[in-house]
């Protein structure tokens, strides 16, 4: 199972030491679930978290599950990294989320044969973002905005992080990765805030967002899945391009070029996949 798809938009975190929440997470509608062994699990509960993860993955319920499961391990220098990787060496884990990714060597250590999703959340990691993006087995960059702001002493979520988010998008594109995934919105009940945050990062070129509560999942899915207006536009672009048979053609006063056609094709493909 793999999450290396442009149609994975919502990634829902669930603490590894709360196995009673695993089924709810899988049923939430999230495109992928991240079982968290790091921030969400206290130092004294790491072993219990690993055991809960292993027991659930061995269950009939997990074997029947079709939602990609990723695991967020502890960082390389945490003292827990090796134990975390040992329980992740199995084919039913779709990827490793590596927090505080700062070196390509860290990614190589984390892969264990699985795709890696580096979480860029420190100044040092950001300074090496091109190196991280080009490292083998990297599937997608994740931007940990909350920890990054703390590390940088930044106060603010939009203009204050515009440069950094844009560089994450640029590094992903140059490395040939899928569009990156933005960090969590901490407000669980403020659905308008979640919608604004998701729409903002989509405009910047992000392809998805991390979630910390099932309430956030439907909003994020709606935001990153093509709207009816986008779908109508894409169909019109493809119809006009087809009628031109390779020649120049304009639509609504704008020349239709190859990037526009490719964008329209991606929108149609995404909508068709969602329709089943």
CATH number at residue 174: 3.20.20.60
Residue 195 maps to a domain: yes
Please check whether residues 156 and 249 belong to one and the same domain: no
Overall number of domains in the chain: 2
pLDDT for the residue 246: 65
Query: Does the pLDDT at position 104 exceed 70?
Result: yes
Please check whether residues 50 and 66 belong to one and the same domain: yes
Q: How far is CA 72 from the centre of its chain?
A: 12
pTM over 0.95: no
Instruction: Give the Cα separation of 224 and 217 in Å (integer).
Output: 11
Please check whether residues 111 and 233 belong to one and the same domain: no
Helix (H, G, I), strand (E, B) or coil at 128: coil
Please check whether residues 217 and 251 belong to one and the same domain: no
Handedness of CA 214, 216, 222, 225 (dihedral sign): negative
Percent of the chain exceeding pLDDT 70 equals 94
Please check whether residues 27 and 124 belong to one and the same domain: yes
Can you give the chain as a three-state secondary structure string? Answer: CCCCCCCCCEEEEEECCCHHHHHHHHCCCCCEEEEECCCCCCHHHHHHHHHHHHHHHCCHHHHHCCCCEEEECCCCCCCCHHHHHHHHCCCCCCEEEECCCCCHHHHHHHHCCCCEEEEECCHHHHHCHHHHHHCCCECCCEECHHHHHHHHCCCCCCHHHHHHHHHHHHHHHHHCCCCCEECCCCCCCCHHHHHHHHHHHHHHCCCEEEECCHHHHHHHHHHHCCCHHHHHHHHHHHHHHHHHCCCCCEECCEECCHHHHHHHHHHHHHHHHHHC
Token pair in block for residue 11? 């990634």
pLDDT for the residue 78: 85
Please check whether residues 28 and 140 belong to one and the same domain: yes
Please check whether residues 232 and 113 belong to one and the same domain: no
Query: Structural domain of residue 38, as residue ranges?
Result: 10-224
Helix (H, G, I), strand (E, B) or coil at 199: helix
**Tens of pLDDT along 112-163?**
678 999 999 999 999 999 999 999 999 999 999 999 999 999 998 899 999 9
pLDDT for the residue 11: 97
pLDDT for the residue 180: 96
Q: What is the mean pLDDT of residues 225-236?
A: 79
Mean pLDDT computed over every residue of the chain: 89
pLDDT for the residue 54: 94
Band of the pLDDT at 261, cuts 50, 70, 90? confident
Residue 5 maps to a domain: no
Please check whether residues 153 and 258 belong to one and the same domain: no
Residue 137 maps to a domain: yes
- Among residues 42, 39, 40, the alpha carbon closest in space to that of 15 is found at 40
Residue 177 maps to a domain: yes
Helix (H, G, I), strand (E, B) or coil at 138: strand
- Binding site annotation covers 147? yes
**Tens of pLDDT along 34-49?**
999 998 888 888 999 9
Band of the pLDDT at 2, cuts 50, 70, 90? very low
Residue 1 maps to a domain: no
């Amino acid at each position: 199972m793999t999450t290396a798809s442009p149609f994975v938009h919502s990634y829902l975190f669930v603490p590894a030491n709360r196995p009673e929440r695993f089924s709810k997470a899988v049923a939430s509608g999230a495109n992928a679930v991240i079982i968290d062994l790091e921030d969400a699990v206290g130092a004294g509960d790491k072993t219990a978290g690993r055991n809960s993860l292993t027991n659930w993955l061995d269950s009939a319920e997990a074997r029947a599950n079709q939602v990609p499961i990723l695991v967020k391990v502890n960082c390389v220098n945490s003292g827990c990294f090796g134990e975390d990787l040992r329980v992740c060496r199995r084919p039913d884990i779709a990827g490793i989320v590596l927090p505080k990714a700062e070196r390509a060597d860290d990614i190589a250590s984390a892969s264990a044969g699985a795709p890696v999703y580096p979480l860029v959340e420190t100044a040092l990691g950001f300074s090496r973002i091109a190196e991280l993006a080009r490292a083998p087995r990297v599937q997608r960059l994740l931007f940990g905005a909350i920890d990054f702001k703390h590390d940088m002493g930044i106060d603010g979520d939009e203009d204050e992080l515009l440069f950094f988010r844009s560089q994450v998008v640029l590094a992903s594109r140059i490395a040939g990765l899928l569009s990156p995934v933005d960090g969590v919105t901490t407000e669980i009940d403020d659905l308008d805030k979640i919608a604004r945050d998701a729409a903002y990062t989509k405009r910047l070129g992000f392809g998805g967002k991390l979630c910390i509560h099932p309430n956030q999942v439907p909003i994020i899915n709606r935001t990153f899945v093509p709207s009816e207006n986008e779908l109508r536009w894409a169909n019109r672009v493809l119809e006009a391009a087809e009628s031109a048979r390779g020649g120049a053609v304009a639509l609504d006063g704008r020349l239709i070029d190859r990037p526009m056609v490719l964008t329209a094709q991606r929108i149609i493909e995404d909508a068709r996949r969602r329709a089943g």
